[in-house]
Amino acid sequence: MRDFSSFFERYGWPSNKGSLPFCIGHRGASGHERENTLEAFQRAAELGAEMWELDTQLTKDGVVVVSHDDHLERVFGIDRRISEMTAAELTALESVNVPTFEAVAALGRRTNTGLYIELKAPGTGPLCWKHLKEKNQRFACLGSFDAAQVRELREAGCDYPLSVLIRVGHDPHAAGDEAGADILHLCWERAGERPQDLVTDELTQRAFGQGREIVLWHEERPAILTDIMKLPVLGICTDLPDLMRPAARDEKHGRQG
C-alpha cells in the first residue's frame, strides 16, 4: 500500500484516521438518505466513511449551500433555482432541506469527518476556503471539474489539497497540469463493465512521479469495489459506505462477525 504520510503531514490531515483507501461518502450516504443532506452526511459517518463528498451552490445573497444541482426539481420536485433565491427564502421552502456549507462543515468537525468539496457554482471555492481557515478545519480538500476554479485557488495560495475531476476520455495528467491540482479524481464509473482496468500502473506511477495522488469515482458494484480497494489510491467515493466499511455497519446494528 502506498505511504501517504508525507501528504497528510503537508496538509495537516489526521495520520490515524480509519483505513486506506479512504471511504468517501458520495453526497453523504446517498444510497440510504436523500443526497447532500445533513441526514446523509450523518449516516455516512455512522457507516464508517472517513470523508464526505459534497457539492456547492451559491444563493442570490452569496451564501454557500450544499447541493449538486442549482435547480431543485430533481431532488425536491420544486421548480426553483438556488441562485435566484436568498438563503432565507431557500430555508423557508417547505419540504426542502438544503444545508449551508457552514452547517455541513460544523457536522464534519463534530464527527471528525473530512470534507471532499466539489465546487459547482463559481465563487464558492474562496468562500469555503475562508471558512475552513477560520475554523482551522484542516481535514478537507477542494476540487472541481472546472479547472479554472481549481487554478484560481492555486494561484491565490490555497494551502489545502486541490483536486481536479476528470471525465472518461480526458487526459488526467493534462487536466492536473491545467488545474495545478494535487489530486487526480477519475470519474470513470461509466467506463464500461471494468473501469478498474483503466487505472493502470503507468497512470498511477506517472501521477505519483508528478507529486499527485488519485481518488476514484463513486462505485457501488461490490466486485469492482473489491478490486479498486486494492489500488494505491487515496480514496474511493461511494453512495454506500457500508460496502467499504462493513464492520462499522455491523457494529451499528449490533451484529457479530
Let me know the angle formed at the C-alpha of 77 by 72 and 81, rounded to the nearest 5 degrees.
25
State how beta strands 64-66 and 51-58 pair: antiparallel
Backbone φ, ψ for residue 139 (5° rounding):
-80, 80
What does the block give as the cell for 38?
445533513
Cell triple for 47: 457507516
Region 226-248: mean pLDDT is 95
141-174 pLDDT per residue, tens: 999 999 999 999 999 999 999 999 999 999 999 9
- Where residue 231 falls among pLDDT bands split at 50, 70, 90? very high
Query: What pLDDT shows up at residue 166?
Result: 98
Q: Which residues of 194-210 are buried (b: 16+ CB within 10 A; e: fewer)?
A: ebbeebeeeebeebeee
- Coil vs helix vs strand at 214: strand
Kindly indicate the confidence band of residue 18, based on its pLDDT and cuts at 50, 70 and 90. Answer: confident
Task: Say what the alpha-carbon torsion angle 16, 17, 20, 24 is, to the nearest 10 degrees.
Answer: -160
Q: Three-state SS for 6?
A: helix
Percent of residues, the chain, with pLDDT higher than 90: 94
Instruction: Indicate the helix (H) or strand (E) that contains 95.
Output: none
pLDDT at 1: 75
Residue 240 has pLDDT above 70, yes or no: yes
Rounded Cα distance between 80 and 76, Å, is 10
Task: Report the C-alpha dihedral over residues 46, 35, 90, 78, rounded to 10 degrees.
Answer: -150
Compute the chain's Rg from CA coordinates: 18
Q: Does domain 5-57+101-240 have CATH number 3.20.20.190?
A: yes
Every domain of the chain and the residues it spans? 5-57+101-240
* 257 pLDDT tier (thresholds 50, 70, 90): very low
Reported residue count of the chain is: 257
Q: Is the Cβ–Cβ distance between 34 and 56 less than 8 Å? A: no
Q: In the block, which residue shows the cell 501521477?
A: 207
What is the reported pLDDT for 252?
A: 62
Confidence (pLDDT) at 59: 98
- Count the alpha carbons within 13 Å of 1 in the hemisphere toward its beta carbon: 12
State residue 162's pLDDT score.
98
pTM above 0.75, yes or no: yes
- pLDDT of 256 strictly over 50: no
The answer to whether residue 253 scores a pLDDT higher than 80 is no
